[in-house]
Amino acid sequence: NGLYNVGDEINISGNIVVSQDTNGFASFVLQCANGNVEFYKAPVILKSGQQKTVELSTYLETFVIGNLSGSCNIDFSYAGDSRQTRTFEISKEITVNLNLNSILFNPGENVFVSGNAVKKNGQSLNGFAEVSITSIGVHSLVSVIEGKFSSNISLPNDLAAGNQDITVRAYEKNSDGNVLNEGFASSSIKVSQVPKSVKVALNRESFVPGDEVTYTLIVYDQSGKEMSVSVNANIASPNNIAIDK
């Protein structure tokens, strides 16, 4: 296999053939661009002409390989002789794709987020996805099952108009709770500006018959911000008789 994600199982074998009595240690060393780690070492005693196959099956967990990743190979050595495997890659990457039920929303509506997550080795993720609108402190944690996830996020009723970024972080943990692999995706939605209240401002507080009245209508959106919008004003007498529009 030329590609592994952290946590994957790896199977290795090394064959030893000697032409004379030999004592030594058989060793497997993982060699990566960012470091090395010996994860197997055992004594092997052979008589002349004997051969032995050393086999190892292990998982590329963080307690075994630490933070090693990238381009790697395994060095198998015994009694001063060594051989290397072909180069392979260890990755922590997860590819995440997300879909939204719309890109335009009113405050108070629900945003349905769905998507898929696949590890770089091609296997569907079984883990978790954190869906967030960080700017307003909204977070939703859902399970990823066979690479699929979905989440419903309710927008606050007083959410300001404008663009909001939605991010998804998909990840996989081991039994100790440590994150092995993760990936990210993002998209954006637009929140509409919705008129919620109107204030009438007069040029003064009291009038007598014949005075000219100047008024201003101030419209506020869901977040309390003034907005520019066309408004129809009906003016009526105390007897509810229409005077002007």
Greater confidence (229 vs 103) lies with 103
Side chain identity, residue 10: I
Q: Locate 121 and state its tokens.
A: 């080795």
Tell which residue, 151, 154, 155, has the closest CA to residue 141.
151
Q: For 37-48, how does the pLDDT look when each residue is reduced to its tens digit (9 = 90+)?
A: 999 999 999 999
Q: For 55-87, how does the pLDDT look when each residue is reduced to its tens digit (9 = 90+)?
A: 999 999 999 999 999 999 999 999 999 999 999
Task: Kindly state the DSSP code that residue 242 receives in the 8-state scheme.
Answer: E
Using DSSP bridges, classify how beta strands 88-91 and 3-5 pair: parallel, antiparallel or unpaired: parallel
Side chain identity, residue 244: D
pLDDT of residue 241: 77
Looking at the DSSP bridge assignments, the partners of residue 142 are 129
pTM as predicted = 0.82
